[in-house]
Amino acid sequence: MAVQELEGSKGCFVCDRTGTNPRSLGVVIYWDEEACQTVIPFYPDDSWCGYEGIVHGGILTALCDDAMAWSAKKALTEWTVTASMNVRFLRPVKSGQKYTVFGSASDVEGRKVRTTARIVNEDGKVCVDAKATFVAVKTKA
């Protein structure tokens, strides 16, 4: 299996590991070439919670967003931004337990990429399911 650690983005709330953003979650993002998907293992602590012991939905959405953004970048080979997103919370994500986010691109149409993400617990049950459309960032001419 060809899994590659991605560099992350300097200053990113989710994946900055440079120290530029002291509030970053600092997760490590991997690209699984064989499965054509991003993989983000994470182990949330109580500082990620909205309700006691339950990880905040905004943080879970941000993790899904990053997983999908990196898969969109792989699909288009350029940076994209989120145009729309739909997130379903199916099971609670609890602090002190291990989870994995998987993100993939499913359809490329011009500058648009449709993506999906899911957060899975250690038992393989889907806790969060997300779908989004990303659009390539226009570069200045």
Global pTM value: 0.93
Give CA–CA dist 3/82, Å, rounded.
Answer: 25
Q: For residue 126, what pLDDT band results from cuts at 50, 70 and 90? A: very high
Mean pLDDT across the stretch 100-120?
Answer: 96
Domains of the chain: 3-136 (3.10.129.10)
Integer Cα distance of 63 and 85 in angstroms: 13
Torsions phi, psi for 60 (to 5 deg): -65, -40
pLDDT band at residue 141 using 50, 70 and 90 as cut-offs:
low
Do residues 24 and 14 touch, judged by C-beta distance below 8 A?
Answer: yes
pLDDT in tens, 2-48: 899 888 888 888 887 888 888 888 899 999 999 999 999 999 999 99
Collapsing DSSP to helix, strand or coil, 50 comes out as: strand
**Phi, psi (degrees; rounded to nearest 5) at 46:** -65, -20
